[in-house]
Structure 1
Amino acid sequence: MSERVTPGRTDGLITLGAADALWVGLTADSAVPTASGALTRSPAHAQTGYVLLGGHLVATVKASGGQWRVPEAEVRRAAAELNTVCMDPQDLVRIGPFRQAPREVYDEGAPLRWRQRIARELQELDNSAQAARRGSSQSRHLTGIDWRQLLVERTRDGTQRTWWLPRAVVQLLDAAEHTETRWRQAPRIRRAITTVTESPSRPRKVRDAASRQTTSPERPTPALRPYTRELEGQLYSVLSRKPGTSRKVAGWACAVCRTAPATVLDHCHEHGYVRAPVCQSCNTQERPDHLYSNDIRVANRYTRLFHTDTDTWLRHWHRCPGCRARTTLPLPHLAAWTAHIACRALRPTHRAPRGRKPCGVLRVSWTGNQQAPRSCLFTVAVDSCPSGEHRVLARVPYREAADRFGVWLAETAPAVAAAAGPDRLDGLPAQFRPVIADTSGDDLELF
């Protein structure tokens, strides 16, 4: 039986069991499903001094009698933040598996590292004995979120299994991981500052473990700084080798969504320039759905990239001086734009229960490359047509596609188009870098 929550009891602190019940009750109508035992089941571990709820960190306090408690107000705040999250179950982000399976062994109190945790648990469930417990009530949650209800498994080429989660959930988990990292680093930073500034004639006061655990739960987390074009014009091949680059990137907010912490430097693989620091979710969304070395499947994500958030993404892609000067996009992006926008009127439709539905799945491939524009040709086709009637819709030369894009850009995002143009070619490489075929299965190599 769950414990009844009494606001204001014990100076606003409630037991973990009461906090579990409060979390489930307050998030019952949330778009993101939550799990019971959010503060008492693994990977939550009160003895580390905090628990994660959604993207929020709640400090734990060891009260009299050795019982762990949390501030009721913080649990309510975490639930209120989660309830504001809008989730599109069709907007998915691939979370694995990638090249290597994680080898870490996770004990109680280990850092979140949620991607590795999911990969490890799913790999364990491949064993028949553990697979029988897939629906067990003891299944682990992540920051109080029942990720099992949201996980989507897909099989590519009939053999490779991939795992996907809604983008809103990925952003929540990334935010929680970033907040946890800052929290764990804060004591080390404070100790380093104290060591440097401490007077030799005045001994430092040492706090015991118990006093550290009862520290005020309102410890501030350093704010993320907005990205203001500090890396513009720099080459990724040079910047990525500089010491401290990763730590510097982690201090920025994502340059696209501006809310999640940045984790990677997005860069143009054709010109080699850094675009901006972005979060893992936006970095995944930015990449086209890559199938083969010269073939792109035009998935539903392009509705957002070329319709809903067009100005944001065009501005981001044109952070590359090469793309901006030539008023174009990298070859895979331009191919996807050609299929999704320039050839939209050519796509057949079929009858559906609610009107008409676009036929099949768009695919665009190319021959030649952008180093020889006269020889480069896009072929737009339809796959998986219900009636098997349609195949090739159009063949568009690269130069024609680039010209169409320039016209569309001026009409759709005039501010972005105004910053582009051939008068800004000084200092740019004379030739594009060749597009590198992706042979790893990680979908990372083209962009």
Structure 2
Amino acid sequence: MEAADVLWTQLTAGSAVPTVCAAFTSFPADARAGYVVLAGRVVTTGRTGGDRWSVPAVEVGRAAAELAVIEMDRQDLVRIGPFSSPKRELGEGVLLRWRERVTRYVQASGSSGQDARDRCGRLSHLAGIDWRLMLVERASGGGARTWWLPRSLVRLLDAAEHAERQWLHAAQNRTIAAEPPSPIRQARAADDRERNAGPTAALRPYNGELKDHVYSVLSRKPGIARKVAEWACAVCETAPAAVLDHCHEHGYVRAPVCQSCNTQERPDHLYSNDIRVAGHYKRLFDTHPADWLRHWHRCSGCRARTTLPLPHLAAWTAYTACRALRPTHPAPRGRKPCGSLRVSWTGSHNAPRSCLFAVVVDLCPSGEHRVVARVPYREAAERFGTWLAEIAPDIAAAAGPDRLDGLPAQFRPVIADTNSGGLELF
């Protein structure tokens, strides 16, 4: 680990992002956890004997190469805290909820973060980055302090947290798969199946009873939560429904769905107008597109305009229409898609002439690529309409073309669903 510290320092000496000299041996890095987060990459570690641990030097080099292409504008700042939120445990991950970690460190130090230390007194860092050198403190008129970091650094830390979350999820699945089912676990599973057999069998299939209902009106009706729980999920048709999925652009209810399906269709937001094109879009646009298209077009507004909500249309544009434009690089087994694909947009669906999608390749190892395509909203909507007619002609026939009848004359506010565990934002 000491040699890896030296290698990381040498490889990142010319980076615009300041790094620490003990990325592997200082808090919160812990080789015994099986991984260390560097820049936007998770680097695995392994035991070499006794209490000694090693890390592949090539992985350190790749993380340093990704960091080298990051450009830093110290004037373009994003507020990272403090925010009013319920107190909760930060978990065992290195970066999970990194904003809360930074806020707690700074509050504990009583300064602008230059002396932020953990309980053992060691300097803390995030993904091998010395965030303390980039932290900006501002005081409002009431005397309250806020903390800010450069936008490019915030994006990098968000990417690192996302990568760590995926790695931990995959590691958990590998552990569960490796454990043989015990007799006690099998008995509990049988009991659960027997206990759930009655209620699941009694669930009513959803047959469009809530079609054309506006969510802001329906969500206020007494007893609606109990009524929703009586339906089976309109997507998977097996689990009991838990929430009313609805379109945030037009305000119409789509259908009652279970928490799992409601999470699966959630756009992978980095910011309100910025989406990472993650792996789950393969299921939405490749494996089961007709099921999801049918569900999304339960919204009267999307069905009339023959399109998708703006975040979903942006993701579709990047994943499907612009996939062939994504650069590749040589790899041991052929060629590998470059970096991480992301799409952002300016403007709104309410002003389609000014709305523009930008498809970007982030974290390119060689720093060759940035924006690979800029697609106007109208062009993206036309491409989607053509694709929809090919993939799901029955859904396309039931929609548009570009009808306005039945759409609300004024914007309908979406009321937050406080019982959905934060999913109301999506």
TM-score range, shorter chain: 0.5 to 0.7
Equivalent residue letter for 1:268? C
Equivalent residue letter for 1:264? V
**1:132-147 to 2 correspondences below 5 Å:** none
How many angstroms does 1:289 deviate by? 0.2
1:62 aligns with none
Counterpart of 1:298 (choices 254, 277, 291) is: 277
Residue 241 (1) aligns with residue 243 (2): no
Residue 230 (1) aligns with residue 228 (2): no
How many angstroms does 1:334 deviate by? 0.5
CA distance in 2, matches of 1:310, 1:410: 12
CA distance in 2, matches of 1:367, 1:252: 38
Q: Is the 8 A contact 2:300 2:406 kept in 1?
A: no
Counterpart of 1:320 (choices 299, 305, 320) is: 299
Q: Is the 8 A contact 1:233 1:273 kept in 2?
A: yes
CA distance in 1, matches of 2:411, 2:281: 25
2:264 aligns with 285
Counterpart of 1:405 (choices 384, 397, 400) is: 384
CA distance in 1, matches of 2:361, 2:387: 23
SS at match of 1:393: strand
Q: Is the 8 A contact 2:251 2:414 kept in 1?
A: no
How many angstroms does 1:426 deviate by? 2.1
CA distance in 2, matches of 1:338, 1:443: 26
CA, structure 1 residues 220+332, in 2 after alignment: closer, same or farther (shift >3 Å)?
Answer: closer
1:57 aligns with none
How many angstroms does 1:344 deviate by? 1.1
CA, structure 1 residues 157+240, in 2 after alignment: closer, same or farther (shift >3 Å)?
Answer: same
1:152 aligns with none
2:60 aligns with none
CA distance in 2, matches of 1:305, 1:372: 26
How many angstroms does 1:242 deviate by? 1.0
Q: Is the 8 A contact 2:268 2:276 kept in 1?
A: yes
CA, structure 1 residues 431+408, in 2 after alignment: closer, same or farther (shift >3 Å)?
Answer: farther
CA distance in 2, matches of 1:230, 1:260: 18
Equivalent residue letter for 1:156? D
2:229 aligns with 250
TM-score, normalised by the number of residues in structure 1: 0.51
CA distance in 2, matches of 1:260, 1:445: 20
CA, structure 1 residues 274+418, in 2 after alignment: closer, same or farther (shift >3 Å)?
Answer: same
Question: What do you get for the CA RMSD once the two structures are aligned?
Answer: 3.9
Counterpart of 1:365 (choices 339, 344, 359) is: 344
1:66-113: CA deviation from partner (whole Å, max 9, x where unpaired): xxxxxxxxxxxxxxxxxxxxxxxxxxxxxxxx964689xxxxxxxxxx
Counterpart of 1:379 (choices 344, 358, 379) is: 358
TM-score, normalised by the number of residues in structure 2: 0.54
Task: State, as a whole percentage, how many aligned pairs show the same letter.
Answer: 72
CA, structure 1 residues 275+165, in 2 after alignment: closer, same or farther (shift >3 Å)?
Answer: farther
CA distance in 1, matches of 2:259, 2:173: 12
How many angstroms does 1:354 deviate by? 2.7
- Gapped runs of 5+ residues in structure 2? 1-83, 90-117, 120-156, 175-187, 416-420
CA distance in 1, matches of 2:414, 2:364: 29
How many angstroms does 1:220 deviate by? 3.9
**1:270-281 to 2 correspondences below 5 Å:** 270-281=249-260
How many angstroms does 1:432 deviate by? 5.6
Q: Is the 8 A contact 1:379 1:396 kept in 2?
A: yes
**1:148-297 to 2 correspondences below 5 Å:** 156=158, 220-221=198-199, 223=201, 224-297=203-276
**1:61-100 to 2 correspondences below 5 Å:** 100=86
2:92 aligns with none
